[in-house]
Structure 1
Amino acid sequence: MNKSILLASLLAAVALTACSKKEEPKVEAPAPVVAAPAASEAASAVADAASAAASAVVDAAASAASK
């Protein structure tokens, strides 16, 4: 009888100890911040350069066709 009471109290102590443990919150690395305005400005510059190159090609083709 004494052994079963001792075993039951040990089991209760282990169960209560296991329940009181708190999990540590997981810390995630912050997501890298992408500078959207800089990307937008770069895309705009590329579009302007492409437009200028296309205009130059059209002008050269028109000049070659008129000769």
Structure 2
Amino acid sequence: MDPIATAQYGMLAASRRFEASAFRTAQMGDPNANVDLGLEVVEQITAKHEFSANAAVIRTADDMLGDLLDILA
């Protein structure tokens, strides 16, 4: 299993989740839209943290790979 590829997919999923929530939030001006602003704020914050966590996984995997290469060199 490739942690970098998994984290990249997680970043993509978090980005899509954030975009969907932002789209729903933008529809608040429509009187027919049933948008819960509190729920959307929580959704966007959660997506932001998911993205950041997956970015941290990529940084850590990159650091570990660099250390491994230093040991082998």
TM-score by length of 2: 0.46
User: Which structure would you say has the larger Rg?
Assistant: 1
Structure with the higher helix share, 1 or 2:
2
